[in-house]
Structure formats: C-alpha cells, structure tokens
Structure 1
Amino acid sequence: MENILSEYDKSPGIISPDFEKMDLHLPKKAVFAFLGEKRIERFAFARGGEKVGTFVSLTKDFPLWMIKADKEELCVLQAPAGASAAVLLLERLYAYGVEKVVALGCCGALEKLAENVFFVVRKALRDEGTSYHYLPSARFVTLDESAANIVEGVLRENHVPCESCVTWSTDGFFRETKEKVKARRAEGCRVVDMECAALAACAAYRGKVFAQILFTADTLHDLSHEQRAWGKESRDKALLMGVKAAERL
C-alpha cells in the first residue's frame, strides 16, 4: 500500500474555510504571530488597534486585530502552536480577504547559535503531516523568494541583523532525537520549528504570498536541550518587524 503521505489530492475540500459565512472583510495583509495573546493585545492597543472579529475554535477564541501601520491597515492574529492548528487559522485569514502574510515566532537552534538571532526562512523540511494535504509529497517546500527578500531587506533597514535559513518543521517536539538532529543538520537545517512547512504549503496551494521570520530561543546544538530564555528578548521586536515587513509586501 502506498505511503499515506503520498496520497495527494488537489481537488477542493468538502468544507470551505469560510463555511461560517462571517460578516468579515479583512485587509490584504496580515501578521500571524506565534506569541502570547496579551502581548499582541498590548501591541495592538498601543497603535490604536481595533478588534474586528474573532475566529472561534473548540478550545480557544482568537481575536482579530486591525491596526494602522505607516501607510495602510493590517490584520494581526495570534497563531496557535502546531502545524495543523496554525493552518486552520491561516486558511480562514485567506478566506476572508488576506492575500499576503508574514508569520513570526521562535525556533530551536540546531547549530551553535546565540539566542535571539533572527532568520528569514528560505526552505522548510516537511517533517509534519499537514503540508502533504496541500502539495505533492516532497522533502522540502521552498518559500516565496521575492517575499523573503523583502522581509530580509526590512529587517536590515531597521538595524535587525538577520540571516537566511532552512528550517526543520516537525510535529514531534518530544521526538527530536540525537540522530534526527544530526541528520537534519546534514541536510542544511539550521533551526527547528513546528509550523513553517505547513504554512508555506498552504500558501502555495491557495496562491498567496507568505514569508516567515524566526528568532532563536532554545538550543539542541550539542545534542542536549538548553531552554535559555525562550527568545523573550526578541518577541516585541519580532512583532514590530512583522508589521513593517507585511506592509512592504
């Protein structure tokens, strides 16, 4: 029997992401932040943000914030951890008008990297299940080059040093074994996250623009785990850079 991850079907799903038929009209650009809800709320209020709707799930409600950036309105939404949950919300953003998304969040270091190093993802290893519902089976998904270039440029213009990277997107936070870490490093992965590959695959399937900012938090570089401070120093900066980058897309 064929591997289930090879059973790609590009036909439309039975359930549409706008099945709720909400009276919601979002701007074309959004920031999808893997950060705490209160942090996002404070950020939005500080910029005169307005709550314009809520995406409801069985376990949590996700407020949609509209903020005024330098030149236009943007949507800011908290992203849930994990590929499947994150894509459920990304799909709904697209369904209600969003065309371009900058996601941001922390990552684990696979090589010797300081905490709070910023990266713009160029390619993601698909070690999660969700991406295989959006693209044919392959080891990697390549992110939008033009969008990544713009995001890198924005970070540098704002004096935030950054590098390009390949990330390992995995569903198995507690299954990042020593052998897997060594193997992923050999394939060029510098960091590990849980969602990027799936988000990029969803964007590609829907014909949308997507970019991902990551900043280093914990580390596995010496084949043991060091929590460090989980990238706390970078969280507000990443959110601000996400907004500035989204505005430029």
Structure 2
Amino acid sequence: MVDYENSQGNPQANTPRAVVLTWDVRLESAVRARGEYQELHHARPGWALLQLTQDLGLARLPVGAPATAMALEELSARGTELFIGIGTAGAISDRVSPGDLVVCSAALRDEGTSHHYAPSSVFAYPDPELTARLRDELPSAVHGSSWTTDAPYRETVEEIAKYRAEGIITVDMEASCLFVVARAIGVPAAAAFVVSDVLHGDQWEPHFSTADILPPLWALFEAASAASAFALREAVDPLVERGEV
C-alpha cells in the first residue's frame, strides 16, 4: 500500500516511532485543542494521524478490529515501532465502575480479524514489558482481561455471565486484534481502557457522553505517552552502550 500511494503521487511520510491508537473522537479533539501537533497525510478516509513530537504520534481510527489491523500494518511499514491502544470499554465485572481505568492483561479473541494473522486461541496477550511500563504510569488502574467482540449488539446475558465468572473485567472491540497483529508483524503493543458503560447489573448503563469520561481518557493518553517514551529510551540505550548509534 505504501508503494502504491507513492506511485499515485501521494507520498507517505515516515511515521513516529511510537503511536498511541484511539477510537475516541473526544480524545483526538482534546489533543488538537493543545495545538502542538502536525497533521500527517494518510490515505484512509475517516482516519486521523497527528505527529505530537519527533517520536510520538496519535492515530484516531474507526472502531473495530479491521481498521486496527490495517493501521498497524501500514504504520509499521512506515516506521512505527510500538503501539499503545487507549479507549473506552464496557464493564462486565463489578470490580470496576464508570470512569475507572483498566490496563489490559489479555483479550479473548471473539473477533474475526486476528484469526487471519495467527492460529486460533482463546486469548491474545500484550507485550509484557510495555504493559509493565503502562501499569507503572497508572498505579491505580485495575489490571485484568477483556473480551474483544465484533458484535456489541449481540452480547448476550449468557455470554456476559460466563465471561464474568471466568474473571474477565471488560468488553471491547479492538484489543485482541491489536495484540495478535502486533506480534505477527514484530512490534510491541499494549492497551488500556476507561470504563464507559456497565453490563454487570440488571440493565445496561451507558455513560459514554458524561463529562467524567474525558478526564480519565486524558490520563490514559498521558500515561501511554510516558510509557512509550520510556520504552523507546530502553530500546536505544543498549545500542548506545554497544556503540551502534
């Protein structure tokens, strides 16, 4: 795809070494409001790609696994070395409430895209070192697993009860794909969520539009930025010691 775009007169700039992925327009708007970014050209309609520093970028994507896989493929081909996904998720465990933060420890592979990248398995796992850095930046966050699904309107009472009994904390639409595709292409990835709706009571309780969701989203963004910077420094330091940079 990169070669195709170049051949069509749409040269694709190199991308930052670390990219924070989000599927939330509010977070993109908050980042833009700071005014400290450069918009990078990207061929995909409906995507946004912002360079925030020399090494850090933000990509806002359409929701779901397919767009996530495409973003990882294309951004890694243009130079991105690590990804952290941040967004909202539903709570299926009563351990968390709206506005709480969750660092994802594993993701149940109930979406279709990741199965084109690796043999089927129950769970996908994030990069442990990058996840540890993210947890260091979010000491109050819950650390637990998520259920990744393509079909949010087909989450049944029986499924929710089953996965809750198995200790799963949240439900999302991208994490398992993010982890599997990242591993397949050889880059580290991690993910964290803000709880935006609750599915562990008698009724669904949406809190997507409440004012108390954006501050924790911003906290995730700052934590992901700091964790990315730390991971990049760790990647460079051994090379410096060996005189390779």
Decide: shared fold, TM above 0.5: yes
How has the CA–CA distance of structure 1 residues 17 and 209 changed in structure 2, closer, same or farther, with 3 Å as cutoff?
farther
Cα offset, 1:216, TM superposition: 0.6
**CA distance in structure 1 between the partners assigned to 2:113 and 2:3 by the alignment:** 19
More helix by percentage:
2
Gapped regions of structure 2 (runs ≥ 5)? 232-245
One-letter code of the match for 1:146? E
How has the CA–CA distance of structure 1 residues 219 and 31 changed in structure 2, closer, same or farther, with 3 Å as cutoff?
same
How has the CA–CA distance of structure 1 residues 227 and 138 changed in structure 2, closer, same or farther, with 3 Å as cutoff?
same
The sequence identity of aligned pairs, in percent, is: 26
**CA distance in structure 2 between the partners assigned to 1:86 and 1:28 by the alignment:** 17
How has the CA–CA distance of structure 1 residues 209 and 18 changed in structure 2, closer, same or farther, with 3 Å as cutoff?
farther
How has the CA–CA distance of structure 1 residues 84 and 18 changed in structure 2, closer, same or farther, with 3 Å as cutoff?
farther
Which one of 164, 179, 185 corresponds to residue 185 of structure 1? 164
1:85 and 2:85 are equivalent in the alignment: no
Check the 8 A contact 1:115/1:218 in 2, yes or no. Answer: yes
How has the CA–CA distance of structure 1 residues 155 and 63 changed in structure 2, closer, same or farther, with 3 Å as cutoff?
same
More deviation, 141-150/84-93: 84-93
Aligned equivalent of 2:125: 142
Check the 8 A contact 2:90/2:171 in 1, yes or no. Answer: yes
The CA RMSD measured in Å over matched residues stands at 1.9
Cα offset, 1:133, TM superposition: 0.7
Normalising by structure 2, report the TM-score: 0.84
Aligned equivalent of 2:36: 48
Gapped regions of structure 1 (runs ≥ 5)? 1-15
How many residues are paired up? 223
Question: How do residues 57-68 of structure 1 correspond to structure 2 at under 5 angstroms?
Answer: 57=45, 60=46, 62-68=47-53
Normalising by structure 1, report the TM-score: 0.83
1:97-118 alpha-carbon deviations (Å, 9 max, x no partner)? 1010111001000011221111
More strand by percentage:
1
Check the 8 A contact 2:48/2:61 in 1, yes or no. Answer: no
